Amino acid sequence: MEKIIDIVESIAHEKGLDKKNVKEVVVKSLYNTAKKVYGDEYEYEVYIDDKTKNLQLFQKVLVVSDNDERAKESNENHMVLSKAKEIDSDIEVGDELTYKLPLDNLGRTASAVLQKELEFHIQRLLEDKIFEKYQKMIGHIISGSVVRVDFEENTYIEINEVRAILPRRNRIKGESFKVGNVVKSVIRKVYIDAGRGMVVELSRTTPKFLEKLLELEVPEIKDGNVIIHDVARIPGERAKVSLSSSHPNIDPVGAAVGTRGVRIMAVSKELKNENIDCIEYSSIPEIYITKALSPAIVSAVKIEGKKAIVTLPADQKSKAIGKSGINIRLASMLTGYEIELVERAGGASEQNNENREKTMDANALKSLFNE
């Protein structure tokens, strides 16, 4: 049994576990085994020889005064000072003596107990490793096969060594999946549930999912030449994405949209034909809000704290608001400002007529001087 650590290290190597963690598991397992076999009232110590890879188990005995009642009650766990002096003349009350316990004499029962302890703690190590792995993957996009859909329409997806869940609330409206479907989604969160153990929750409705899809589809985003600043979504309906370029020769919006819109259409198709507006980011709030309200034409933007008062022609207001208020909501979500719309007297057509009249007046005046 003293060579059991070789077996454990072999298993740890196969599972990709850290050697230090394996050693801790071995120590804990043998300690718990000793408690169960020799008695829970005693104290033990486990030592691992790094050179021989052997395990050594010691029982610890506390040195007490000659008249201490504990020595009479439990001779194996306590030793009176006078007797301890025969072993070590320098020993004092409160010190501990250790006795080596032969592992070969533990028997079949102890071997079975130790095996169960090792299996239990190694399994915990594996679960902790998987948990840490998926914790680091939060916000990353994954692809997996549907293995089950429950009565609440939650979708269970097989991803390597785990079965993740795509709750109904995290699905795009109108979507449904069947067993065998391959589904893309983003890891939203990873947590421990008392009843279910580790839970990997997926989502197709977060802005992060759209961001990651764009990263997959647009090479300029993946290599860092185009940067995604903000994403706002109303899943399955419409989204707005603000982009900037770190390279003077790259148009961020053009790169994201692609030739004839092929890139953005591929992303839209994955999102159940969600309409995606790409705009150029600006660090100047007034400009950023103006672009975010596109396709509406804005006359002026005034910032008051986290509120933006937007002045625009009357005939542009419906465009700024959008169907069921979707455009202004997304613009507000994208920029982080509460947007208030204020109509300016005269529509865009009147403004164009006014500009045309001014041009005509200027031309007439010019012709007079030429004469």
Query: What token pair was written down for 11?
Result: 């298993």
Q: Which pLDDT score is estimated for 197? A: 86
What percent of the chain is predicted at pLDDT more than 90? 55
Mean per-residue pLDDT over the chain, rounded: 84
| Residues 121 and 28: beta-carbon distance below 8 Å | yes
Q: Which pLDDT score is estimated for 329? A: 97
Q: What is the mean pLDDT of residues 135-141?
A: 95
DSSP string spanning 176-220? ---TT-EEEEEEEEEEEETTTEEEEEEESSSHHHHHHHHHHH-HH
Which one has a higher pLDDT value, 282 or 75? Answer: 282
CATH number for domain 285-371, candidates 1.10.540.10, 3.40.50.720, 1.20.140.10, 3.30.300.20: 3.30.300.20
pLDDT tens sequence across 342-359: 998 654 444 454 444 443
Confidence of residue 75 (pLDDT cuts 50, 70, 90): low
Query: What are the beta bridge partners of residue 337?
Result: none
Residue 101 has pLDDT above 80, yes or no: no
Q: Which residues of 202-214 are buried (b: 16+ CB within 10 A; e: fewer)?
A: bbbbbbbbbbbbb
Q: Which pLDDT score is estimated for 364? A: 43
| Residues 324 and 235: beta-carbon distance below 8 Å | no
The CATH code belonging to domain 139-203 is: 2.40.50.140
Q: What is the mean pLDDT of residues 196-223?
A: 95
Give me the residue spans of the domains in the chain.
Answer: 4-134, 139-203, 206-281, 285-371
Strands 162-166 and 182-193: unpaired
pLDDT tens sequence across 115-128: 788 888 888 888 89
The 3-state DSSP composition of the chain as helix, strand, coil percent (nearest 5) reads 45, 30, 25
Q: Which pLDDT score is estimated for 67? A: 74
Q: What is the mean pLDDT of residues 91-99?
A: 74
Distance CA 137, CA 174 (A): 27
Which one has a higher pLDDT value, 209 or 79? Answer: 209
Q: What is the mean pLDDT of residues 32-40?
A: 77
Q: Which pLDDT score is estimated for 37? A: 75
Q: Which pLDDT score is estimated for 208? A: 96
pLDDT tens sequence across 163-184: 999 999 999 998 999 999 999 9
Residue 293 has pLDDT above 80, yes or no: yes
Distance CA 158, CA 148 (A): 9
Q: Which pLDDT score is estimated for 3? A: 59
- Asked whether this chain's domains 206-281 and 285-371 adopt the same fold, the reply is yes
pLDDT tens sequence across 232-273: 999 999 999 999 999 989 999 999 999 999 999 999 999 999
Q: Which pLDDT score is estimated for 41? A: 67
Confidence of residue 61 (pLDDT cuts 50, 70, 90): confident
Distances in Å between the Cα of 5 and the Cα atoms of 29, 39, 45, 122, 263 are 11, 23, 16, 13, 55
Q: Which pLDDT score is estimated for 363? A: 46
Instruction: Tell me which CATH homologous superfamily contains domain 4-134.
Output: NusA, N-terminal domain (3.30.1480.10)
The CATH T-level fold of domain 206-281 is GMP Synthetase; Chain A, domain 3 (3.30.300)
